[in-house]
């Protein structure tokens, strides 16, 4: 009689597969194929995604800090960035600035704030928190636990750093030294679920053509490791920006932003020039066109048709996007219209 063979479960290939799978939790195609993959919500509609790592790069004095502070105020106040891009609600920003003098951060912030709200005696509640010139380093082992605690206590979901060079002592031209620095920012995105924005400088022009995404200074892991890159160029009375790396977002050529002095409030506002051949009255014309159309309940299609007639140069994509943005602006941010049943829009007094 043959003695039964002893089966050692520890050498069962199927059991080993299950143990390995449970330990490392890989993904399988059948799981991915059964899901509907979609990008995260927008931080700024049609401009920046949430839960992303975003670099704002440009030459010195091109407007990087001003842009970042403007992003911050738009989120805090719930008002459109450049009068065009609606911010996502329920965002709380931790801003850490170490590139300019503390008084300069305050001066720029107050000018932009007055440009948004004027000289209101009762300032709105602002949810953001600021640290200026505290010598914070991404290489400090205590930084990430500190950030993790700040997120837990205060509920921050946006982190802004101005500028990257001032948050580390690594050689920015070395991939080996910069990868750990970038890893800290990626951990803030992946482990804490934050939207992370940092400013950075562009490199000096060199011989030969260079991709716009790699205009930023330093190691390739910086430009290669971000989800989105917004490249800024100084202009007279403003700046231009484009996104050579946009994770699906694409714009034809740079967009121009103009600085507008508010003499009465001693403030400054940043406004998007929708068409370089036109004036900054384009946004007002868009609002006026919609309000003139919606003197009685109208469908979105009717409003879209009115805008198409007023702005014949817009592409179909631009028309659809700006119709949505304007309707949200006029029903939520600056209420002049109300949304009725059956998809209709009417004047605010319409019942």
Q: How far apart are CA 189 and CA 218, in angstroms?
A: 22
Question: What is residue 264's predicted lDDT score, i.e. its pLDDT?
Answer: 62
Question: What is residue 89's predicted lDDT score, i.e. its pLDDT?
Answer: 87
Is residue 198 domain-shared with residue 296, that is, in the same domain?
no
Is residue 224 domain-shared with residue 288, that is, in the same domain?
no
Cβ–Cβ < 8 Å for 63, 239: yes
Span 163-183, pLDDT tens digits: 999 999 999 999 999 999 999
Question: What is residue 187's predicted lDDT score, i.e. its pLDDT?
Answer: 97
Q: Are strands 195-201 and 158-162 parallel, antiparallel or unpaired?
A: parallel
Is residue 157 domain-shared with residue 112, that is, in the same domain?
yes
Question: What is residue 249's predicted lDDT score, i.e. its pLDDT?
Answer: 64
Place of tokens 């010598």: 135
Which strand (E) or helix (H) includes residue 235?
strand 228-235
State the sign of the Cα–Cα–Cα–Cα dihedral 127, 130, 136, 139: positive
Cβ–Cβ < 8 Å for 323, 311: no
Q: Is the peptide bond before 163 cis (omega within 30 degrees of 0)?
A: yes
User: Which residue has better confidence, 15 or 173?
Assistant: 173
In whole numbers, what is the pLDDT of the chain averaged over residues? 84
Is residue 97 domain-shared with residue 232, that is, in the same domain?
yes
CA angle 103, 108, 113 (to 5 degrees): 125
CATH code, 332: 1.10.10
Which strand (E) or helix (H) includes residue 145?
helix 143-154
Is residue 244 domain-shared with residue 296, that is, in the same domain?
no
Question: What is residue 175's predicted lDDT score, i.e. its pLDDT?
Answer: 95
Secondary structure of residue 168 in the 3-state scheme: coil
Q: Is residue 231 part of a domain?
A: yes
Cβ–Cβ < 8 Å for 92, 158: yes
Q: Is residue 32 part of a domain?
A: no
Which of 219, 242, 273 corresponds to the end of one domain?
A: 273
Is residue 183 domain-shared with residue 127, that is, in the same domain?
yes
Question: What is residue 50's predicted lDDT score, i.e. its pLDDT?
Answer: 94
Mean pLDDT, rounded, for 61-80:
91
Residue 3 has pLDDT above 50, yes or no: yes
Q: How far apart are CA 278 and CA 123, in angstroms?
A: 34
**pLDDT bucket at 281, cuts 50 / 70 / 90:** very low
User: Mean pLDDT lowest for which of 1-5, 142-146, 228-232, 336-340?
Assistant: 1-5
Which residues have a Cβ under 8 Å from the Cβ of 346 and sit 6 or more positions away? 294, 296, 297, 298, 337, 338, 340
Is residue 99 domain-shared with residue 242, that is, in the same domain?
yes
Range of the domain at 201: 42-273
Name the nearest CA neighbour of 95 among 189, 191, 193, 163: 163
Token reading at 282: 């384009």
Is residue 147 domain-shared with residue 292, that is, in the same domain?
no
Name the nearest CA neighbour of 326 among 304, 349, 298, 297: 304
Is residue 341 domain-shared with residue 242, that is, in the same domain?
no
Q: Is residue 17 part of a domain?
A: no
Is residue 266 domain-shared with residue 299, that is, in the same domain?
no
Q: Is residue 269 part of a domain?
A: yes
Residue 279 has pLDDT above 60, yes or no: no
Cβ–Cβ < 8 Å for 337, 348: yes
Q: Half-sphere exposure of 176 toward its Cβ, with a 13 Å CA cutoff?
A: 0
Greatest CA separation found in the chain?
105
Cβ–Cβ < 8 Å for 97, 133: yes
Is residue 63 domain-shared with residue 207, that is, in the same domain?
yes
Q: Is residue 98 part of a domain?
A: yes
Cβ–Cβ < 8 Å for 198, 57: no
CATH code, 101: 3.40.50.300
Mean pLDDT, rounded, for 336-340:
86
Mean pLDDT, rounded, for 70-96:
91
What's the total number of domains in the chain? 2
Which of 215, 250, 273 corresponds to the end of one domain?
A: 273
Q: Is residue 30 part of a domain?
A: no
How much is the pTM? 0.73
Which of 214, 246, 273 corresponds to the end of one domain?
A: 273
Q: Is residue 24 part of a domain?
A: no
Q: Is residue 27 part of a domain?
A: no
Cβ–Cβ < 8 Å for 310, 266: no
Span 283-302, pLDDT tens digits: 567 888 898 899 889 998 99
Secondary structure of residue 140 in the 3-state scheme: coil
Is residue 98 domain-shared with residue 240, that is, in the same domain?
yes
Span 122-156, pLDDT tens digits: 666 788 999 999 999 999 999 999 999 999 999 99
């Amino acid at each position: 009689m043959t003695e039964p063979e002893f089966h050692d479960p520890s050498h069962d290939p199927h059991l080993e597969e299950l143990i390995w799978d449970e330990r490392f939790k890989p993904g399988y195609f059948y799981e991915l194929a059964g899901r509907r993959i979609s990008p995260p919500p927008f931080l700024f509609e049609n401009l920046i995604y949430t839960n992303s790592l975003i670099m704002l790069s440009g030459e010195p004095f091109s407007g990087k800090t001003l842009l970042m502070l403007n992003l911050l105020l738009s989120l805090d106040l719930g008002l459109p960035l450049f009068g065009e891009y609606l911010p996502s609600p329920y965002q709380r920003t931790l801003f850490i600035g170490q590139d300019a003098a503390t008084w300069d951060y305050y001066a720029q912030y107050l000018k932009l704030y007055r440009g948004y709200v004027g000289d209101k005696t009762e300032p709105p509640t602002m949810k953001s928190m600021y640290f200026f010139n505290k010598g914070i380093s991404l290489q400090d082992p205590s930084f990430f636990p500190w950030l993790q605690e700040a997120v837990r206590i205060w509920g921050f979901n946006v982190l802004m750093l101005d500028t990257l060079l001032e948050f580390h002592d690594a050689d920015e031209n070395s991939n080996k030294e910069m990868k750990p620095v970038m890893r800290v920012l990626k951990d803030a995105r992946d482990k804490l679920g934050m939207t992370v924005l940092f400013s950075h400088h562009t490199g000096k022009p060199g011989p030969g053509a260079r991709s716009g995404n790699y205009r930023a200074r330093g190691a390739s892991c910086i430009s290669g490791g971000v989800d989105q890159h917004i490249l800024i160029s100084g202009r007279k009375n403003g700046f231009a920006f484009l996104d050579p790396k946009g994770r699906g977002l694409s714009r034809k050529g740079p967009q121009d932003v103009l600085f507008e002095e508010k003499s009465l409030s001693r403030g400054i506002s940043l406004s998007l020039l929708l068409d370089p051949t036109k004036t900054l009255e384009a946004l007002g014309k868009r609002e006026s066109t919609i309000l003139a159309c919606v003197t009685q309940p109208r469908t979105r299609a009717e409003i879209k048709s009115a805008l198409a007639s007023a702005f014949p140069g817009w592409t179909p994509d631009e028309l659809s996007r700006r119709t949505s943005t304007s309707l949200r602006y006029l029903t939520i941010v600056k209420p002049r219209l109300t949304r009725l049943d059956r998809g209709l829009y009417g004047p605010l007094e319409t019942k």
